[in-house]
Structure 1
Amino acid sequence: MLIREATTEDWPAIWPFFHAIVAAGETLTYPTDLGEEEAQGWWYVPAPNRVVVAVDEAGEILGTAKMNRNHMGNSSHVASATYLVDPAYSGKGVGRALCEHSVDWARTSGFRAMQFNAVVETNTHAIKLYESVGFEVIGTLPEGFNHPTEGYVGLHIMHKAL
């Protein structure tokens, strides 16, 4: 698996799984009816932030990550990231590779920490992955997310010192 910078030419391959994940409404705080043009604008963040794709040997896009400053001003030393893995490649190490890549990016870019602001507490696979990479839950917003089948569930704030 190779992780490389994303280009706008990658968007047609990203959009189908991006749309499916967002429309399911189970893991991200994005509007479930988010349109393609707006989604692309939200995902492709400008430098010094970064967007990457994970690809296989044939160049097939397996997943993508958006890495950015979590806050501005006197809190701009904290990074964040969002990951989307094509469900067809779930459980094959794509999420782990993207997460580890983003931690390396944040560290080499001079960030002092990474923080995930809204990890849905029912997203247990992601939470387990993040904890295995060194993140910890430092707080939970009770009923901060209206899950389509579980109802109101918590949103974890997760942190990792770099």
Structure 2
Amino acid sequence: FRDKLTPITIFMEYRLDYRTAADATGLQPILNQFTPANISRQAHTLLDCGEDNVCKPKLEVSVDSDQKKIYIGDDNPLTLIVKAQNQGEGAYEAELIISIPPQADFIGVVRNSEALARLSCAFKTENQTRQVVCDLGNPMKAGTQLLAGLRFSV
């Protein structure tokens, strides 16, 4: 499951089945009328986010290009090298979102390099905004640093 921050709520309701509850003497059990006949509890995921259990990530992102100049219509794709790091506590549901201008198209993630992480990225369009959304980890743990290459045609 992706959402590790929202607690899981467990609800239980109980009642007596008076048809089968009688013992050998014919006495039937009763419930305390001042006690609710249901119970609700929450189970929290262990987040490893310090004593307060509140995650305080410190994400930093930088980008470098493999080209100094970009020419529209050039056959050479543009590769952006993205460096993402977390110097704080775990970052849950961490994503990199890149808005793409109309002149560019997302080709994919660079996968032929040992030095680069193989991110899971998806192309999305929301309200006429074209985006590439990449999963950085769930969680992106404290001290994590990754390099990834994203290719675009222009």
For Structure 1 versus Structure 2, the TM-score category normalised by the shorter chain is under 0.3
Q: Normalising to structure 1: TM-score of the pair?
A: 0.27
TM-score, structure 2 normalization? 0.28
The answer to which structure has the higher strand fraction is 2
Larger radius of gyration: 2
Q: Which has the higher helix share?
A: 1
Relative contact order, higher structure (CA 8 A, sep 6+)? 2
